[in-house]
Amino acid sequence: MKERSSSIGAFEALPGRVAALLSREIENGGFPAGHRLPTEQQLADRFGVSRNVVREAVAQLRADGVIEARQGVGAFVRAPEQRAAIRIDRDALKDGDNMERLFELRCILEAEAAALAAERRTPEHLVAIKAALDRMGGEERWEDGSIEADLAFHREIARATGNGYIHTFIAFICEQIRRSIHYARAVNPLHDLVDVNVGEHVVIYEALAAGDADAAADAMRRHIIGAAARVGVHLRNSRNDQKAGEIKP
């Protein structure tokens, strides 16, 4: 695996710029509270970018609590008092130490969330998690749609805990980690990366389906350690002090 460069952020510069322009317009009253944003296609035409860029820019604003998505309706601007009080500065994540801290946070939150999900998941939760997994390994496996499915997989596990606070925090963190997925795809052989990544998610799903909390937590921890390693961030598995996730040449 190649060494991590000094800036993961370079791989998501365009969505970040679009998000900044939209945020500035919202702050200046161009899109008042409660206003529905234009469609992805309208924004893409306006900024001269692809719909994927717009989708990621909107996801950044959603992660920052600036807008909220309503299923089947669109994205709406939140009032200032409704916006998230916590925020992770994306520019700060260009620093390797800060990215390591973010992966450490994922290990803590998502491993425990996986354990709870294994104990509390319903058949409906498993269907949603499996749908995201199938999409990751399906026709979109080489495209950006697979990244969206990857993030959805983690959000659905958080939802399966039955704890809305856990779901809120993990959904927020997932959006912050999006750029690391882009970076991993840029610096690793894509075929090997996708196979390893999907395989790790399969192990997590199987533990959830079996209702095995310990196995689910361990599988999630190993996946996050592996994901970190694939962008040059090395975490320790506190249970067995092993490094994981290297993609063999």
Domain finish residue from 42, 60, 82: 82
pLDDT (tens digit, 9 = 90+) per residue, 93-103?
566 677 888 89
Rg (CA), the chain: 18
Are the C-beta atoms of residues 213 and 118 closer than 8 Å to each other? Answer: yes
The more confident residue out of 189 and 237 is 189
Domain finish residue from 19, 47, 82: 82
Do 103 and 220 sit in the same domain of this protein?
A: yes
C-alpha 75/C-alpha 71 separation (Å) is 9
Q: What pTM value is reported for the model? A: 0.66
Report helix, strand or coil for 68: strand
Do 131 and 170 sit in the same domain of this protein?
A: yes
DSSP for 111-178 reads HHHHHHHHHH--HHHHHHHHHHHHHHTSTTTTSHHHHHHHHHHHHHHHHHTT-HHHHHHHHHHHHHHH
Residue-level pLDDT at 239: 52
- Nearest Cα neighbor of 15 from 194, 136, 182 is 182
Alpha carbons within 13 A on the beta-carbon side of 130: 11
At position 175, the amino acid (one-letter code) is E
CATH number, domain at 40?
A: 1.10.10.10
Do 78 and 144 sit in the same domain of this protein?
A: no
Looking at the 3D structure of the chain, how many domains does it have?
Answer: 2
Residue-level pLDDT at 185: 82
Do 103 and 204 sit in the same domain of this protein?
A: yes
Range of the domain at 195: 90-229
Alpha carbons within 13 A on the beta-carbon side of 189: 9
Do 63 and 114 sit in the same domain of this protein?
A: no
Residue 39 falls within a domain, yes or no? yes
Domain finish residue from 34, 60, 82: 82
Alpha helices in the chain (DSSP H): 13-27, 40-47, 51-63, 96-120, 123-136, 144-160, 164-187, 190-210, 213-229
Do 100 and 210 sit in the same domain of this protein?
A: yes
Do 125 and 191 sit in the same domain of this protein?
A: yes
Do 98 and 206 sit in the same domain of this protein?
A: yes
Residue 9 predicted with pLDDT over 70: no
pLDDT (tens digit, 9 = 90+) per residue, 124-164?
999 999 999 999 988 877 777 788 899 999 999 999 999 98
Do 171 and 215 sit in the same domain of this protein?
A: yes
Do 145 and 208 sit in the same domain of this protein?
A: yes
C-alpha 156/C-alpha 114 separation (Å) is 10
C-alpha 151/C-alpha 192 separation (Å) is 19
